[in-house]
A and B are shown apart, each in its own frame.
Chain A
Amino acid sequence: MTVTKGEPPAGGTAAGAPPERRSHVPGDGSATAVAIEEARRAMLHDVRNRKRTRIGADVLMEALIRQGVDTLFSYPGGVILPIYDILADYPEVRHILVRHEQGGAHAADGYARASGKVGVCMGTSGPGATNLVTGIATAMLDSIPMVALTGNVASPLLGKDAFQEIDITGITLPMTKHNYLVRHADDIPRVVAEAFYIASHGRPGPVHVDFTKDALQGETRAEHPSAEEVAAGLPGFRPTIEGHPKQLKTAAREIAAAKRPLILAGHGVLIAEAWDELAAFAEKTQIPVAWTLLGIGAMDEGHPLAYGYMGMHGWKHVNRAIQAADLLIAIGMRFDDRVTGSVKTYAPYARIIHADIDPAEIGKNVAVEVPIVGDAKNILAGLTRLVHPVDPADRAEYLDQLAEWRAESEASPWHGSGGWREGAMTADFVVARIGELTNHDATYVADVGQNQMWTARYTRFKRPNSHVSSGGLGTMGFAVPAAMGAALGNPGAETWALAGDGGFQMTSQELMTLAADRIPVKIAILDNKKLGMIRQWQEIVYGGNYHSSHLPGPDFVKLAEAYGIPAWKATAPDQVDDAIRAAQAVDGPALVWFEIEEEQNVFPFMTAGKGLSDLIENWGGPEE
């Protein structure tokens, strides 16, 4: 394969043949895989004479298939060998052999975000399980439906500090929606069914199930419970779906009385698949919509009532509108500190309607006037029925004011590139080109830091679930493995991972998984040779003390090439489009290394403890 450094290939086409398929993935259809499966089946037939015992591992696989699981991100190990021993008998489930369990957990997370289904990952006991932890915590903070499976030592050895034994359920307890330790094969059908039910109902979240090795090996005739039996067996888990009619009426009255209302759309709108209801509600009431980081995609950014991204690095006009609003209608968001800044000075004129499926979110960070507990789809539909239609002319003064603020904010030289000269290789330009050349219809998976904020601000999202980002936990290293899952979760969409050079290096081992399984993820490395967000804080808050934020990296083209992944490097704005197109033309994974300006900041910027009215946007830049 030809790899061009410094300049993109002429004509923008991919050079070279795709890498050789090396996977042994059951059901992936490659000749190698089919041959191995056939040999395996023949062997099982001989050894077990078609009458092998049904063991716990079988029941687990049956249970996964009953839940509609088609992809399992996993890495083998001693105590889960009973599962690997029978895995080939279940070709319905595609096994993706990740190169590190953390990658598996993020992949399951990305799969869930892109597909709306439950993502599943697995690791062995001890280090396999602890490696999953970062991914489980990421899913917890962002309410992602995930089931994480781990093995543990045989139950007689539990608590004896056996080889690769760790109290993993003790570790995951505070970072899961629920967790289980299963010691008997007979319990597996019920526990797995409960795990999926809990992970996907109410406010979603990760559920961890730990199986002792003897549970996986034990013979069982246990039957799988029905969905009704599962729900009936969980008397402590009865999420509220319907918004209370009285609260909806109160909210409708507040909406009718408001002069400067603003809708704050969060992740809950996407989880509830309530994007149509959101648009209908906004249109009927003529109320503009702002969104949180994870609420991106809840409304097409081209919609006339779409106002923008809020918070610490949000658009200035959006934060200005929040600070001026007399009513905030918050749907499926949680007033995170990155959204509010200082609560004391947050939205000082606003009464707040707060709808969330999790009652504990209401009143947790800000006191609200109208709490509504329930599912966003249900609540938005209910509110839309109750409110009177508003003529756009009656809101003209307010909407004109917002439009004026938007124009003012967009005219600021700090709005986009942070004051960089025309023609500089700025990240906002690269991100905007990726958005443009993918018709804003790809799945864009961000890492964490400046790259994440640039992605959120400049991609321009049109489609629900097209934006994947680690919001709550802020997990560097998320993008590449999560994009791997997202590409499999929504194979119809082109998938781009947008990572900084720092985050990319945290999980770059998954390049091998992408190559081996030919998962078509396009990776954009926004390389400023810095931990950019750390550097930005050091510049603005810590007096220019740049300790440890300079981060030399490898030759990323050579690195990708070593894994058999075609790669290009772009160092100037006029190379950007060709490099993106070259990556797009590859049938399989590809990587583009964008060498961007080293000291570009993300503006506006609100430092910790400040309020939304105290945005920094004119910090001395390179031109001064």
Chain B
Amino acid sequence: MTPETAAHAAPPDRALPGTGAPHRHALVVLVMDHPGVLNRVASLMRARNFNIDSLAVSRTDREHISRMTITLHGDDVAVEQAAKQLYKLIDVLKVQDVTADQVVEHELALIKVRATDANRAEVIKIVELYKGRIVDIAPESVIVEATGTEAEIDALVALTRSYGIKELVRTGAIVMLRGAGSIEEALKL
């Protein structure tokens, strides 16, 4: 009666959790704005072997509550594990994986692009075609400000690279669910 004596073949290997195909996830994390909370979140992600792609933090309109947007790559089980571990932090109030939801997602970039008298007009024209804005002009460079999804910013960065990028800074993504639903209002405090 026992499988040890059974004639049938051994069953397939047990799957290891978290070893599926990785893809990009976006987590919204609401936290108490206690000192050190960013350190707690960052330390946990490092200790649990998750690699953060981007992290944006700001206050909300609610007293003592801050909001983080974390993007990372991993399979669904691994990211769920990251969310559960985040939940264990006492200062974390809410973790929501919004990857599969309808969201508005934006990030802001500033790009200092090499631009001389010879090609400045061309640079400006291309940037404006990509809905970028010129926010500073100097004899040798311009600063481009752009907002958009990660993919849109990636495209603009790739385009300006041929002129020479002197400096690049990006805020990382911030996201908000479309429609009337609110992650903050759903908090049970």
Give the interface of A toward B (CB within 8 A).
169-170, 173-174, 177-178, 181, 198, 234-237, 259-260, 320, 323-324, 343-349, 358-360, 363-367, 397-398, 401
Contact = CB atoms under 8 A, between A and B. Distances in A.
B84 A360 contact: yes
A360 B90 CA distance: 14
Contacts of A174: 43-44, 47
B2 A364 contact: no
Interface residues on chain B, size class: 35 or more
B151 interface: no
A348 B10 contact: yes
Interface in B1-47: 1-4, 10-11, 13-17, 31-32, 35-36, 39-40, 43-44, 47
19 contacts: A173-B39, A174-B44, A174-B47, A178-B89, A178-B90, A198-B90, A235-B93, A237-B90, A324-B4, A358-B88, A359-B84, A360-B81, A360-B87, A363-B80, A363-B81, A366-B14, A367-B14, A367-B15, A397-B1
B153 interface: no
A397 B47 CA distance: 47
- Is chain B's interface secondary structure helix, strand, loop, or mixed overall? loop
Given A198-B90, A367-B17, 18 more contacts: A170-B39, A173-B36, A178-B90, A236-B89, A323-B4, A324-B3, A343-B14, A344-B14, A348-B11, A349-B3, A359-B87, A360-B87, A363-B17, A363-B77, A364-B17, A364-B81, A365-B17, A366-B14
A320 B36 CA distance: 48
B81 A343 contact: no
Interface of B: 1-4, 10-11, 13-17, 31-32, 35-36, 39-40, 43-44, 47, 77, 80-81, 84-85, 87-93, 187-189
The 6 A-B residue pairs with the shortest CB-CB distance, nearest first, are A360-B84, A344-B13, A178-B90, A235-B189, A348-B11, A236-B93
Contact of A348 (B14, B39, B189): B14
B17 to A, nearest CB: 5
Nearest to A169: B36
A345 B14 contact: yes
A174 B47 CA distance: 8
A360 B85 contact: yes
Contact of A177 (B1, B81, B90): B90
Q: Which of B1, B17, B92 has the most CB of A within 10 A?
A: B17
Contacts of B17: 363-367
Contact of A324 (B2, B10, B90): B2
A434 B93 CA distance: 50
B1 A401 contact: yes
A323 B43 CA distance: 37
Contacts of B189: 235
